[in-house]
Amino acid sequence: MEEKDFIFGSRAIMEAMSSNVEIDKLLIARKSESEISKELLDLAKENKVPLLYVPVEKLNRITRKNHQGAIAFISAVSYVPLEELINSCYEKGKDPQFVILDQISDVRNFGAIARSAECMGFNGIIIAHKGAAKINADAVKTSAGALLKIPVSRVKSLANSIKYLKDSGIQIVSVTEKASENCYNANLTGPLALLMGSEDRGISPNLLFLSDQKVLIPMVGETESLNVSVASSILMYEVNRQRNSVKL
């Protein structure tokens, strides 16, 4: 981890927030009760910055410098509000196509998914405040710079955001081994959002329940599952193939 990926010290972090620097996550030492810490917490809540209380030892492992009980990780991109992401597509006369990532915390997987999404013409990536990979220099590098081109929306609740997407006329398609429908037989045209879950836990049950359609990738080998970035790429390619076939 490089120092350019984070800011330390309460005053420096507050100045960054006031200058509209995108903060990915704020770590605060437990039992930190100084006046400046309270001011920092108030500003973090006002800016809807994800907050995590940690032992001071964790902060010491990140930096040996005087962090004053606070370290903020900087995002490499500026987030776009979900409403703006949707409206932008419709205003341009496009059928929205998004990728929703549930609990995908590996930076390299995230970067690889972003790269495929941008290459396949997807209009944005939707992640949660908590449990998502940090969008840092490693993520941008793994995405081959795609994260600087494709919009990312970070939301407080994926469940509420999925409901909002559905109300906006966007179909939610979950990619899961629990599905019975082959992705190649499913209708993946029209406005849609692909919902991808982590490799170890899959898609959260409450999000799976909200899905309009569940599809799986047919497997012919003995290995039980694909890497999530590979699975995402296959589905995004299929969406692209079906749309181009319809246009032809």
Q: What is the CATH number of the domain that holds 242?
A: 3.40.1280.10
Secondary structure of residue 133 in the 3-state scheme: coil
Residue 139 has pLDDT above 60, yes or no: yes
Give 148-191 pLDDT, tens digit per residue. 999 999 999 999 999 999 999 999 999 998 898 999 999 999 99
| Number of structural domains found in the chain | 2
Q: Domain of 67: which CATH number?
A: 3.30.1330.30
| Domain C-terminal end among 74, 100, 129 | 74
Q: Do 239 and 117 lie in a common domain?
A: yes
Give 207-245 pLDDT, tens digit per residue. 999 999 999 999 888 887 889 999 999 999 999 999 887
Q: Do 94 and 131 lie in a common domain?
A: yes
Q: Do 31 and 88 lie in a common domain?
A: no
Q: Do 105 and 223 lie in a common domain?
A: yes
Q: How far apart are CA 25 and CA 231, in angstroms?
A: 28
Sheet holding 192-197, edge to edge: 152-155, 124-128, 97-102, 192-197, 171-175, 213-216, 181-182
Q: Strands 213-216 and 192-197, how do they pair?
A: unpaired
- Residue 189's identity, in one-letter code, is T
Q: What is the pLDDT of residue 2?
A: 59
Q: How far apart are CA 100 and CA 163, in angstroms?
A: 13
Q: What is the pLDDT of residue 248?
A: 43
Q: Do 70 and 124 lie in a common domain?
A: no
Q: Do 64 and 87 lie in a common domain?
A: no
User: What is the C-alpha end-to-end distance of the chain, expressed in Å?
Assistant: 48
Q: Do 110 and 207 lie in a common domain?
A: yes
Cβ proximity of 157 and 206 under 8 Å: no
The boundaries of the domain holding residue 199 are 82-247
Cβ proximity of 72 and 16 under 8 Å: yes
Q: Do 107 and 199 lie in a common domain?
A: yes
Cβ proximity of 26 and 13 under 8 Å: yes
b/e per residue 43-82 (b: at least 16 CB within 10 A): bbeeeebbbeeeeeeebeebeeeebbbbbbbbbbbebbeb
Q: Is 93 exposed, middle or buried (0-12, 13-18, 19+ CB in 10 A)?
A: exposed
On average, the pLDDT of the chain sits at 89
